[in-house]
Amino acid sequence: MRILLLIFISFFTFGDNHKLSTDLSDCKGKIANYYVAKLTGSADGWLKAARMHQKFYKDRGSDIVVAPMMQYRRDSEGNVSEKLYRLSTMVIGSQESWAKWQEMRENQSEAEAKKAQAEYDAYVGMYNKNNELTVQRRLCIY
């Protein structure tokens, strides 16, 4: 009985030592860039931009993932509208993936940087042709 009481008391005494930090720098999960946009062109064009975006990371040996999402509204009764509400894209990577990505960018040659900039401009241009960005956030995903 004493042991159970001791365990019970220690749970409340020491249980608060592992508070979850809300600082992004303390994120123990994955880090994501989150973009929300409204469709101004075609959904096919927006999806093509997302595929180009993913290829941009993959071609440089990164395991960062580009996740395009179409969002639909739900009414107060829980019914989902068939009409597209907005678009969102999450670019997700671990702390290590983002660190490797930054290191790769800092150590690329001038020719590599020029090629990367042209590919970046191409997919950003495709996004801009097909959607209007309304929100940008940085997220910690647990």
Question: pLDDT tens for residues 51-101?
Answer: 999 999 999 999 999 999 999 999 999 999 999 999 999 999 999 999 999
Of 85 and 13, the one with more pLDDT: 85
- Which region among 2-16, 24-38, 63-77, 88-102 has the lowest average model confidence (pLDDT)? 2-16
Task: Find how far residue 35's CA is from the centre of its chain.
Answer: 8
- How many contiguous H segments (helices) and E segments (strands) does the chain have? 4, 4
Statement: residue 11 has pLDDT above 60:
no
CA distance 69 to 63: 19
Task: Walk me through the domains of the chain, giving residue ranges and CATH numbers.
Answer: 29-141 (3.30.70.100)
SS3 136: strand
Percent of the chain with pLDDT over 70: 87
Could you please report the per-residue DSSP string of 51-111? HHHHHHHHTTT---EEEEEEEEEE-TTSPEEEEEEEEEEEEEE-HHHHHHHHHHHHH--HH
- Which region among 8-17, 28-37, 59-68, 87-96 has the lowest average model confidence (pLDDT)? 8-17
